[in-house]
């Protein structure tokens, strides 16, 4: 079977297609024949060495497919079941993937394989952000960077569904249209600012009667962190959930005091789905919403498995919108 391997930490060119034997599921594992594989920004951190990993590495922690074999002791999943997963371990850029049975998510009958692969990680992240890290409700105004991205489009819809007013940032006119269609009340073109750390908070305060937002969700990180912090109102919260532009340098907590007794957190999804009941609840919520059409899942691009390097180039080059999939 085919799989993509990064032989050493590096750029997208380190990703190589290899032929390898089909793995045997160990205790508690299932073997899945993948139908679609989700690409996430974290895959680029793993590939490039931002997060230390063992190499050679098969990236990927998300996908959907059909169970083809069970490891010893597995009785919660059967051969032939349609499943999806968001796994903390890598290894999903392959035609056949081992998944811990406890991490498999049942795919509703009326959800196609591509949508099922598109939402576990970004969908549950969006869900954790509005219903876990914060509890959004009517009357709240929030700021979200990269509003047309994979997490961004889903988070906007979930926040709007809870009654919040959403302000997003995007870097192009076509991304602005997508963000508006997802429900953003205001879309800011941050690519047009000469001085982003000063101009973005000024624009956000203009849109909020000078107050700022209750919550800023920032997945862009290094380039936007200061601007987001300065956009939050007194006693509000800054949620740093990623670093698409780079990691945020060490931070002096005293700045939270000076900015108005703010809260700051750096959450990761796997701490919000570690409990099996919480995983089932979050997965059920996003899968049901996608199946009924309440949540619109945009698949912005599909690449053959062998072209994973091109997919990484597009994602890191800000060329993508919504979800990017690999098709084995
Ligand atoms: N904490 C968690 O558990 C968790 C889980 C999932 C994802 N995340 C994080 O959430 C963020 C979004 O992930 P995603 O998979 O949905 O990606 P994405 O938003 O689809 O893609 C990243 C977006 O970031 C923006 N961006 C701004 N500056 C950039 C730069 N210098 N290089 C690349 N992109 C830049 C781009 O949008 P514009 O062109 O509009 O600026 C780009 O499209 C990432 O930081 C990811 O690590 C965190």
Question: CB of 122 closer than 6 A to ligand 1?
Answer: yes
Ligand 1 atom nearest to CA at 269: 3
Ligand 1 atom nearest to CA at 148: 40
Q: Helices H, strands E: what count in the chain?
A: 10, 15
Mean pLDDT across the chain: 97
Question: CB of 178 closer than 6 A to ligand 1?
Answer: no
Q: How many CA atoms lie within 13 A of 68 on its CB side?
A: 14
Q: Is the pLDDT of residue 90 over 90?
A: no
Helix (H) or strand (E) holding 173: helix 173-181
Sheet containing 213-218: give its strands across. Answer: 186-189, 165-170, 141-144, 213-218, 232-240, 263-265
Task: Find tokens 């963000």 and name the residue.
Answer: 179
How many angstroms separate the alpha carbon of residue 188 from the centre of ligand 1? 16
Contact 168, 186 (CB under 8 A): yes
Going by C-alpha positions, the residue among 209, 216, 217, 207 that lies closest to residue 259 is 216
Q: Is the pLDDT of residue 89 over 90?
A: no
Going by C-alpha positions, the residue among 161, 141, 114, 138 that lies closest to residue 298 is 114
Q: Name the token pair of 284.
A: 């059920």
Q: How many CA atoms lie within 13 A of 274 on its CB side?
A: 6
| Report field, pTM of the whole predicted structure over 0.95 | yes
Ligand 1 atom nearest to CA at 244: 45
How many angstroms separate the alpha carbon of residue 241 from the centre of ligand 1? 9
pLDDT in tens, 185-219: 999 999 999 999 999 999 999 999 999 999 999 99
- Return the pLDDT at 88: 79
What CA–CA distance (Å, rounded) separates 160 from 289? Answer: 14
How many angstroms separate the alpha carbon of residue 79 from the centre of ligand 1? 35
pLDDT in tens, 46-55: 999 988 899 9
Q: What angle do CA 31, 35, 39 make, to 5 degrees?
A: 100
Could you tell me the domains of the chain? 2-122+274-327 (3.90.180.10), 134-266 (3.40.50.720)
What CA–CA distance (Å, rounded) separates 225 from 190? Answer: 13
């Amino acid at each position: 079977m085919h799989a993509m391997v990064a032989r050493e930490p590096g750029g997208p060119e380190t990703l190589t297609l290899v032929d390898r034997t089909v793995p045997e599921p160990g205790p508690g594992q299932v073997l899945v024949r993948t139908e679609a594989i989700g690409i996430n920004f974290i895959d680029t951190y793993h590939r490039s060495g931002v997060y230390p990993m063992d190499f050679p590495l098969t990236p990927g922690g998300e996908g959907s497919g059909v169970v083809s074999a069970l490891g010893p002791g597995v009785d919660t999943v059967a051969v032939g079941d349609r499943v999806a997963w968001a796994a903390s371990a890598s290894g999903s850029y392959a035609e056949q993937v081992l998944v811990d049975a406890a991490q498999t998510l049942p795919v509703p009958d009326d959800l196609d394989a591509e949508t099922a692969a598109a939402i576990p990680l970004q969908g549950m992240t969006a869900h954790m952000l509005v219903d876990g890290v914060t509890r959004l409700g009517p009357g709240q105004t929030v700021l979200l960077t990269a509003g047309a991205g994979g997490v961004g489009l889903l988070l906007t819809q979930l926040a709007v569904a809870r009654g919040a007013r959403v302000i997003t940032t995007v870097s192009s006119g076509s991304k602005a249209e997508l963000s508006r269609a997802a429900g953003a009340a205001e879309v800011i073109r941050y690519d047009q600012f000469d001085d982003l750390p000063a101009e973005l908070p000024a624009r956000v305060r203009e849109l909020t009667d000078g107050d700022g937002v209750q919550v800023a969700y920032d997945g862009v990180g290094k380039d936007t962190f200061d601007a987001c912090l300065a956009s939050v109102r007194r006693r509000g919260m800054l949620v740093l959930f990623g670093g698409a532009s780079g990691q945020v340098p060490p931070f002096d907590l005293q700045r939270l005091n000076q900015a108005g007794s703010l809260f700051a957190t750096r959450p990761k999804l796997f701490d919000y789905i570690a409990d099996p009941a919480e995983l089932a609840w979050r997965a059920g919520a996003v899968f049901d919403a996608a199946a009924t059409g309440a949540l619109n899942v945009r698949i912005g691009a599909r690449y053959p498995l062998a072209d994973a390097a091109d997919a990484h180039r597009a994602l890191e080059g800000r060329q993508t919108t919504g979800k990017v999939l690999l098709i084995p």
